[in-house]
């Protein structure tokens, strides 16, 4: 398996690449991925180094809600695996269902609910084991590094929905009874594809807002992006320390 680390950068988290030494920029089109028109997404792979370690950053991603299918949404994962990525860090902007995980904080994804109604594995292979999608040892390491800076990073279940709309308060109550701690519109398909390929998977949700129906919930795409940019500055420091160790 490759020793390179891949990172998929979610909405508002693209600033992580500012701290990379970038060698090569490959537009999504060269990997057969249509370029998304969503604000804050660059639509390119950046090959380079972070803290001396080889990394490939996928700046932006494509989503089901833009009309793409599960195979297209996961094309970047297959491309990075071919380029030698062995560990894939999937980041996203998500809504928090927990008062103790406020906007601006990060959550390590310990498991997910795939509520998209689709799968990149349709057409085979069938029956791939999804009992341990996320590498919890790496997750705990990142949480320990964050704690060393006095940053509480929670852990929990990410519910991946299709979107494009945010959830209703009733849907959030439903998701809470299903065991969700955070909710978003990405990551789960990429995690399943990465697991199929045999990559180590790390999932990190940047909690940008409280989900609908919670006290002080504000669901504005601009706020979501701004909160993500601030939290990205913390995560880059955590990444650096992890890669240096
Ligand atoms: Cl509250 N829901 C979903 N589906 N995605 C989000 C979100 C909420 N907040 C940021 N991304």
Residue-wise pLDDT for 54-111, tens only, equals: 999 999 899 999 999 999 999 999 999 999 999 999 999 999 999 999 998 999 999 9
The DSSP secondary-structure symbol of 66 reads G
3-state class (DSSP) for residue 131: coil
Q: Give CA–CA dist 10/40, Å, rounded.
A: 9
Report the C-alpha gap between 13 and 184 in whole angstroms: 15
Question: Residue 206 Cα, ligand 1 centroid: separation in angstroms?
Answer: 10
Residue 172 CA, closest ligand 1 atom number: 1
Band (pLDDT 50/70/90 cuts) for residue 192 is: very high
For 141-183, write each residue's pLDDT tens digit: 999 999 999 999 999 999 999 999 999 999 999 999 999 999 9
Q: Is 208 in the pocket of ligand 1 (CB under 6 A)?
A: yes
* 41 has catalytic annotation: yes
Q: Is the CB of 161 under 6 A from ligand 1?
A: yes
Least confident of 110-119, 138-147, 162-171, 217-226: 217-226
Nearest residue by C-alpha to atom 10 in ligand 1: 94
How far is the C-alpha of 9 from the C-alpha of 93, rounded, in Å? 9
186 is catalytic: yes
Token pair belonging to 47: 């090959």
The catalytically annotated residue of 75, 93, 191, 212 is 93
Ligand 1 touching residue 171 (CB < 6 A): no
- Quote the ligand 1 centre to 82 CA distance (angstroms): 31
1 Cα: distance to centroid of ligand 1 (angstroms):
33
Out of 39-53, 122-136, 196-210, least confident range: 39-53
Q: Which atom of ligand 1 is nearest to the CA of 209?
A: 9
210 C-beta closer than 6 A to ligand 1: no
| pTM of this structure | 0.94
Give CA–CA dist 97/175, Å, rounded: 9
Q: What's the half-sphere exposure (Cβ side, CA atoms, 13 Å) at 89?
A: 27
Q: Which of the following is catalytic: 63, 119, 167, 190?
A: 63
ipTM reported for the complex surpasses 0.85: yes
Residue that the structure tokens 């894939």 belong to? 88
More reliable by pLDDT, 208 or 195: 195
Cβ atoms of 4 and 89 within 8 Å: the answer is no
Q: Which superfamily, per CATH, for 4-121+129-244? A: Nucleoside phosphorylase domain (3.40.50.1580)
């Amino acid at each position: 398996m490759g020793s390179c680390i891949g990172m998929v950068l979610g909405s508002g988290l693209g600033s992580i690449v500012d701290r990379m030494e970038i060698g090569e920029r490959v537009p999504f089109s060269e990997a057969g991925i249509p370029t998304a028109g969503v604000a804050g997404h660059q639509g390119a792979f950046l090959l380079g180094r972070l803290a001396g370690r080889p990394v490939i950053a996928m700046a932006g991603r494509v989503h089901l809600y833009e009309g793409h299918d599960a195979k297209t949404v996961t094309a970047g994962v297959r491309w990075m695996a071919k380029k030698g990525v062995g560990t894939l860090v999937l980041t996203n902007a998500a809504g928090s269902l927990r008062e103790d995980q406020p906007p601006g904080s990060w959550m390590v994804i310990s498991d997910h609910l795939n509520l998209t109604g689709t799968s990149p594995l349709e057409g085979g292979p069938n029956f791939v084991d999804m009992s341990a999608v996320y590498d919890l040892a790496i997750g705990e390491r990142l949480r320990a590094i964050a704690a060393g800076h006095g940053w509480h990073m929670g852990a929990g279940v990410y519910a991946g929905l299709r979107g494009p709309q945010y959830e209703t308060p009733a849907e959030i109550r439903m998701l809470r009874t299903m065991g969700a701690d955070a909710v978003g519109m990405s990551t789960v398909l990429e995690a399943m594809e990465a697991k199929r390929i045999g990559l180590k998977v790390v999932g990190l949700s940047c909690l940008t807002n409280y989900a609908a129906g919670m006290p002080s919930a504000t669901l504005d795409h601009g706020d979501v992006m701004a909160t993500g940019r601030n939290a990205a500055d913390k995560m880059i420091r955590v990444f650096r320390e992890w890669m240096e160790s």
